[in-house]
Amino acid sequence: MPHSPRHLLTLEEFSPKEVLGLLDLAAVVKKSPAKYQKALAGQSLAMIFDKSSARTRISFDVGMYQLGGHALFINGSEIQIGKRESVSDTAKVLSRYVQGIMIRTYAHSIVEELADNSEAPIINGLTDSHHPCQVLADFQTVREEFGKLKGLQLVYVGDGNNMTHSLMIISSKTGVHCKAVCPPGYEPDSRIVQSAQKEGKRNGSRIEVVHEVRGSAKGADVVYTDVWASMGQEAEKEKRAKDFQGYQVTEKLMAECPRAIFLHCLPAHRGEEVSAGVIDGKQSRVWDQAENRLHAQKAVLVTLMGKRGKS
């Protein structure tokens, strides 16, 4: 009988209790790494990269090593998933070799098809629609700063992209109020917004999308931004640079919320979506946030692969 593993695709499939459980485990793993040195001994994680990334590759590779396992880097151009071989066949073959598969790709449908056909857990390292591993690290950082999540206010300034979607989803699970401030025409996907609003009502979260930047950060605990043009949108860069004028996190914006911390998923373009003074300033927590990718992902790996390894 085929194994039915648990996957991390969007975080929508995780209950509020399970999301908080991942964050709790991430904190424990960070504080006491030695306790988990053999958690995934003898196990292997396949890492498929259709989109390159420094933080995702290094954090997963180091994470598997620190858990006693092994990470295998697979360049997307080598296997040409969905072209040279079908997505379903790739999933079936890889899951006979490894105990987990992480993929960083473009279309979210690829991750879903992998999950439908894999006997190993699938971890979404990033798609055009979602970035769940990043927001787990983000909220670990926020909870370290404030000692809680419920009732906090997060303001995201910029493109309604995969980061916006995932921030709304995790906010709706944890009682965080999330406001996306986007230029007209660059709002997040309405289905994801509505789903997050529905989930948020159950957990005490307000999820909203607005266009006006001025005054948007008043009362915020967290201010977040991302690049204006993501990987794969290079052709739109010039147009986006014009459309996003004014949607920059500056010292003036941060002055609206002096107690807030600033977060950015990186890489950052100083002088575009964020000023150098903010990202390098006293309110910035981007380096703690980047480090927490390692700890949050170790929690994901232990949660998804640990039980399978014992079965």
Residue numbers annotated as active site: 104, 131, 134, 226, 265, 293
Closest alpha carbon to 209 in 262, 245, 160 = 160
User: For residue 263, how far is the Cα from the chain centroid?
Assistant: 12
Phi, psi of 176 (to 5 degrees): -95, 135
| Sign of CA pseudo-dihedral 4, 8, 13, 18 | positive
Residue with tokens 């000023």: 275
DSSP-assigned letter for residue 153: E
Q: How far is the C-alpha of 283 from the C-alpha of 257, rounded, in Å?
A: 10
Give the number of other CB atoms < 10 A from CB of residue 23.
24
- Which residue type, as a one-letter code, is found at position 220? A
| Residue 154 exposed, middle or buried by CB count within 10 Å (0-12, 13-18, 19+) | buried
Q: Which whole-number Å values give the CA distances from 86 to 82, 91, 137, 152, in the listed order? A: 4, 9, 32, 44
User: For residue 167, how far is the Cα from the chain centroid?
Assistant: 8
Q: Which whole-number Å values give the CA distances from 49 to 87, 107, 114, 220, in the listed order? A: 14, 13, 14, 35
Q: Look at residue 177 and give its three-state secondary structure.
A: strand
| Residue 46 exposed, middle or buried by CB count within 10 Å (0-12, 13-18, 19+) | buried
